[in-house]
Structures are given as C-alpha cells and as structure tokens.
Amino acid sequence: MQDEKAFLSGYSLEDYPRPSVTADIVAFRIRESDSGNYRRNSQTALSVLLIKRGGHPYKGCWALPGGFLSPGETIEQCAFREVEEETAVKPASLMPVGVFSEPGRDPRGWIISNAFACIISDPAVRAQSGDDAADAKWFDVDFAQDENGDSVLTLQNGEDSVRAVLREERTQFGMTRYNLLDSGSLAFDHAKIIAAALEALRAGAADFEHIFDFLPETFTLAELQNVQETVMNISVLPANFRRKVANLVEETESYKQGAGHRPARLYRKK
C-alpha cells in the first residue's frame, strides 16, 4: 500500500503522448411534411442535425455537433452536454456508434472521436447555434447504393445539399466499415460517422427497441409504422404491421380525428 502510494506519486501520465478526445453526436429526428392532399397522411423523412462551421478548420462546411471531453466527465456526459447545447433538448438516451481514431482525421492534430447517435422527438425543437457554429439545420437523409455498389449519402435542407460517397467494406462481427471516397462539403470524417450511425440505428429499429423515441406519448399505428419504415427504409403491409406490434402497444380511448378518412385509434407504448 505504502508501496503503491509511492509508485503513484512518482508516476506521471503527462510523460507520455496523449490524444485529444471528442464526442460527436448524430442527432436523428423524424420530420413531417404535409402532403398537400387533405385526405392523405403526412409524409415523413429521417433527418439529422448538422452545424455549419463558423471557424477553422473546415470553415463553412457542415459538421456534426460535438466537442472536447472535459476532465471529470464521462464521454456520455460530454455527448449529452453537447446535444443540449445545440438543441436545448436532452435526449432519452445515447446509442454508441463507434470510435474514430484514424490518424490525420482532424487537421488540428491527434484527435479521436467517440460517436453517439440520439433521437430527438420534440418536433418543436429549435436547433440553436452554439459557440462554434454559424448555423444549425436539420437535413433529410438519403442513404443508398449507387450503380457501382458504393454508398451515397445525401443530406438535404431546401437549398442546402450535401453529398458524400463511401465504399462499404464488410468486416467480421457483422459490422460494416465505411471508407470515404468523397466527403463533399461535410467536415472531417463525419460522413463516415453518419453512415455508421445510420447503420446502427437501422439495426436497432427492427425490434422496436427505440422506434418509440421518435413519437409522442400517444400515436396511431400508422404513425408508428411510418416511423419504422422511414428509419429502416422498408415497407410492410399495414395489416401485418399491426399484428407485429400488437403486444408492444396498448389502446387508449382517444382517436385521431379530422383526417378526411376513418379516424385512427391512438395507442401508447406498453
């Protein structure tokens, strides 16, 4: 014990090189847009929060919210802090996406990033700029393969559009590694991080583990189905969908009225 104390007092971590450590967050939201037809239900799109970098490096490029780990906090606390700074909303939970430590990924030097995904349900959230950000916007996500088999990530918000190309590489353990072919106007390796987050989100969405986080307290089964389909990019027949989720939800006594068609019963997560 005496021994150990002596050891520790003589020991200095500062004698060895250390990286800087950041948490970067891929914040997902389901964005609803009116379909124009009073009968039709609204369309939805998966969108992700990006911030226009106001300072160097990658000035003017779009980047994920994130920031440096401070002493005395866990990397998760750091991630929560950064999301709250940018969105003023505290997400229900964080989903670990991966660690990005490729040398040279940040021109400022040796910086490794811990990536997390989170789900922001509050549709009223006003993404607000932080210190380092000139602007923050939600971008609709499109992630699909092109004719060469490469993955194309397209992020769109009105006039602002970002396009990145990645090459998939299947590794063991069912993981996919993405290599950056063209990062477009996305800063750093953030296209890679978004791709990995999308994959993690989709993998977890199959069992309804976190689909409910996108929705308010009560919802129609069509809304629930719509969210899952939007996230996973699949399509299921409504009749089969209701059977699948029957044990996960419980009825309420309310209905969603005034939609130009038969009212839908509202459900709650069980």
Partner DNA sequence: CAAATAGTGTCTCTAAGACAATATCAC
Partner DNA sequence: GTGATATTGTCTTAGAGACACTATTTG
Site for a copy of itself in 29-88 (CB under 8 A): 55-57, 59, 68-76
The span from the CA of 177 to the CA of 195, in Å, is 9
Under the binding rule (CB under 7 A), the answer on residue 99 touching DNA is no
3-state secondary structure of 139: strand
User: Among residues 62, 79, 70, 49, which one has the least CA distance to residue 188?
Assistant: 62
Under the binding rule (CB under 7 A), the answer on residue 265 touching DNA is yes
Here's the x/- map for DNA, 41-80, by CB under 7 A: it reads as x---------------------------------------
Whole-number minimum distance, CB 101 to a copy of itself, in Å?
Answer: 4
Report the residue number, 71 or 258, with the smaller CB distance to DNA. Answer: 258
Residue 219 to residues 22, 222, 229, 240, 246: CA-CA distances in angstroms?
Answer: 36, 8, 15, 18, 14
Whole-number minimum distance, CB 224 to DNA, in Å?
Answer: 10
Strands of 104-188, DSSP E: 111-119, 133-145, 151-157, 160-170, 176-182
Binding residue (CB under 8 A) for a copy of itself from 17, 158, 238, 258: 17
Under the binding rule (CB under 7 A), the answer on residue 248 touching DNA is no
Whole-number minimum distance, CB 77 to DNA, in Å?
Answer: 36
3-state secondary structure of 194: helix
